Amino acid sequence: MILGRDDAQALTKKILALSKADSCCVSISGTEERYLRYAQNMATTAGSPSSLGITVESHFGMRTGSATGSDTDDDSLAALVAQSEQIAKLAPENPEFMPPIGPRKYVTGTGFSPATQAATSDMLAAAVKPVLQQAEAKSIQASGFVDIGTSFSSFGNSAGLFVYDQQSEVLHTVTVRTPDGTGSGWAGATHCDFSKIDIAGMGASAVDKAVRSQKPVRLDPGKYQVILDPSCVFDLMSWMISYFDQRSADEGRSFATKKGGGSRLGEQLFGKNVTLYSDPNDPLVPGTIYSDDGLPAQKQMWIEKGVLKNLQCSRYWAKKMKLNAVPSPTSLTLAGGTATTGDLIKQVKRGLLITRFWYIREVDPQTVLLTGLTRDGVFLIEDGAISKPVCNFRFNESPVAMLNKVVAMGPSVRAYGEESVGLPVAVPQLLVDDFTLSSVSDAV
């Protein structure tokens, strides 16, 4: 359910008027979606879900309580406010409580697309049909998912702040498998504008990878020079950003902790060719215009030329440590280079092209060591050219370490992977030295 700015603001004012607390915050969000899921070259499920959520957070002194509901009638809103107040009154004081902030200035959001909001289920089916036709023409099986959604969110409080944002997202992913069970290819992308996403092109890419990945050879595990497609880099950056936390570093439980205490802000922890930042108006990955507690999202450097520049920092921790608050990112960009895939392949004497990762989990938070697997297409590169498909591997590697071993990179593109943390992410294809592959997987 989508509320426009005026309706969301009116609802926020109505809720704030009901509040008897010392201070109060109101968050409202809603979505309208349409999706189509297909497998084995046919539709499997299709839907059109809709949601609405209203959260009221009440404060009495340093006591806080919150309640969430979805009904907007007067009685339900009054009950919601009363419930949050009762929870707050019963809560012990939180010495880390921070009062709501006053009005702020925000950038103008650029993540909404009328074309996406207007898209219909017929249009989804029409967009997917060429993918199935390509697969059928080659007697192979396509499975995929296309999801278009419009969402809104607003945040208001008793200190006079109100902010509203509307976003659109289109997601399409497709996996194509060969009938002999030895080949599999994947493609996936997101965009805010339905008219700009090339679903048929993704189908063609997945078909091509599936055909080329058939009958892979088994290589020994070990350290390899690898080219990581943007999907893989997306997954690793999405994991890594969650470790960029000032408090964890100051408390001694982070890769960014200095031996003997304190954080490693300002240190050259990564290669000089690495720059990672967030920008809510990045044209590739426009993000939500506000973040934690209603703080404005703004351009924020995390790594600049390899130097650790900032870590996420709550308002409480910033006050205690005399730092600036750094809200959570609403988008993420790893700056890229200019190399094409062909340029990168030519630089590899013996290495691997990895197109997708799967099931990544933390092994050691101290070093951000992660494990996961390759999937849907791994290719051996010999003497600057792809020579053959190879079996999948399990990897045990740290993105923090990996960003010290980047040899070359392509341009940054809007990417998608399965380890999404809900942020739009732009990353390049990377050529990386000494990537640790710990065992072989028989999965295709």
Contact between 71 and another protein by CB under 8 A: the answer reads yes
Handedness of CA 240, 436, 208, 142 (dihedral sign): negative
**Helical pair 5-18 and 74-90, crossing angle rounded to 10 deg:** 50
Contact between 396 and another protein by CB under 8 A: the answer reads yes
Beta carbon of residue 270, minimum distance to another protein (angstroms, whole number):
13
The residue within the footprint of another protein, chosen from 105, 137, 261, 349 (CB under 8 A), is 261
Alpha-carbon distance of 182 to 444, in angstroms, equals: 6
**Partners of 358 in beta bridges:** 373
Instruction: Closer to another protein by CB, 302 or 358: give it.
Output: 358
The residue within the footprint of another protein, chosen from 7, 147, 193, 292 (CB under 8 A), is 147
374: CB partners within 8 A, 6+ apart: 354, 355, 356, 357, 358, 392, 393, 395, 437, 441
Contact between 65 and another protein by CB under 8 A: the answer reads yes
Contact between 150 and another protein by CB under 8 A: the answer reads no
Contact between 11 and another protein by CB under 8 A: the answer reads no
Contact between 321 and another protein by CB under 8 A: the answer reads no
The residue within the footprint of another protein, chosen from 139, 260, 283, 342 (CB under 8 A), is 260
The residue within the footprint of another protein, chosen from 115, 125, 284, 318 (CB under 8 A), is 125
Contact between 389 and another protein by CB under 8 A: the answer reads no
Beta carbon of residue 415, minimum distance to another protein (angstroms, whole number):
17
Contact between 266 and another protein by CB under 8 A: the answer reads no
Alpha-carbon distance of 243 to 98, in angstroms, equals: 23
Q: Tell me the DSSP string of 355-408.
A: --EEEEEEEETTTTEEEEEE-S-EEEEETTEEEEEE-EEEEEE-HHHHTTSEEE
Dmax of the chain from CA atoms?
72
Q: Is 79 helix (H, G, I), strand (E, B) or coil?
A: helix
* Burial category of 311 from C-beta neighbours within 10 Å (exposed 0-12, middle 13-18, buried 19 and up): buried
Contact region with another protein (CB under 8 A), list: 3-11, 120-128, 282-290, 304-312 = 120-128
Of residues 334-373, those binding another protein (CB under 8 A): 358-369, 371-373
Beta carbon of residue 272, minimum distance to another protein (angstroms, whole number):
19
* 165 to 184: interface string for another protein, x by CB under 8 A: --------xxx-x-------
Contact between 320 and another protein by CB under 8 A: the answer reads no
Let me know: does 108 contact 289? Beta carbons within 8 Å. Answer: yes
**How many chain residues interact with another protein (CB under 8 A)?**
102
Beta carbon of residue 303, minimum distance to another protein (angstroms, whole number):
17
